[in-house]
Amino acid sequence: MSDKVVVLNGEKVNYDGRIDYSVLAREVTVYEDTREADILERIQGYRIVVTKEMPLKREIIEQFPESVALICEAGTGYNNIDLDAARAKGIQVCNIPAYSSSRVAHTAIMMLLNLSSSMQKQMSMLARGDKCNFTKCLQVDHVEVNGKTLGIIGAGNIGREVIKIGKALGMNILIYTRTPGTDEEGVRYTTFEEVMKNSDYVSLHCPLTPQTKHIINQEALELMKPSAFLINTSRGALVDEKALIQALQEQKIAGAGLDVQETEPPAEDNPLYNLENVILTPHMGWKGLETRERLVQILKDNIQGFLSGNPQNIVA
């Protein structure tokens, strides 16, 4: 059975040249990036196609050559791939659901701790030469997180990691998820509305689907406390960015930590860059070297499992 693999946008993971794709199979071709117009030409004769967050629309998949039997999404989310079209073509699709769980969870907690200490405001003050936090009383908010309420939207692999760390920090946990679990001391499953109303920090960890797009909209933001913070390390489009910017500008919520944005990178004139109550990072949660090396190892396992007749992490 052919194990020819083509990686269509390898630079997305190997942006620093430290990742070795050659371990995936005996014959691997890697393109740094691929325009939509070049996809069909580049996959001719290959059995396995690897992409990272690259849109594969129905009209493209319908034209895939007969050689293609597996599409590997080199990440957790697969909303970029038309699964129905892949099924219709008899092409299996797999993803890597847990490779970055710990690191993304740590990013969410980093946001939480920095927001609780107004760290972005302190750094901004120093950057403009304002040292009054040193020469006067502390001029910014600095609060304990123990005893505060952490709201979790989506309790998959990453959400559960954040819950674990939140508990270790002495936080009370409220969870909204499609499949509620069992309540325990300090952890309670409840409604979306209650999470939004009663949380001091709301952290998003659900996949992007038609049902979850803009789950955080104007109405949801209006439920939050004026002292509460929103954290998103999942998918940018979970949040209606215009509504969030307005809520931040009008101080309807205290601030936000955003590792993902609705458009990545944000436009040059996006107000999020300059809002003092926002921590903005470039979708870095999964980009650590150890995390990317784990990604490639699991990708290799997926491919070898497929070739041996024991496919792993199949989503379609």
Two tokens, residue 68: 């293609």
Two tokens, residue 306: 């497929």
Q: Go through the chain and tell me how many residues it has.
A: 316
Annotation marks residue 241 as catalytic: no
Q: Could you say which of 27, 264, 276, 290 is catalytic?
A: 264
DSSP 103: H
Two tokens, residue 172: 């009370």
Q: Could you say which of 103, 205, 235, 292 is catalytic?
A: 235
Annotation marks residue 264 as catalytic: yes
List all residues 6 or more positions away from 308 whose beta carbon is below 8 Å from its beta carbon: none
Strand pairing partners for 30? 7
Instruction: Look up tokens 């499953």; give the residue.
Output: 189
H or E element in which residue 188 lies: strand 187-189
Strand pairing partners for 162? none
Give the C-alpha separation, 171 to 173, whole Å: 6
Within a 10 A sphere around the Cβ of 245, how many other Cβ atoms? 17
Residue 312 CA to its chain's centroid (Å): 21
DSSP E strands in 43-148: the ranges are 48-51, 70-73, 92-94
Give the C-alpha separation, 5 to 30, whole Å: 8
Annotation marks residue 276 as catalytic: no
DSSP E strands in 31-127: the ranges are 48-51, 70-73, 92-94
* Dihedral (Cα; 77, 79, 80, 85), 10-degree rounding: 130
Residues annotated catalytic, as ranges: 235, 264, 283
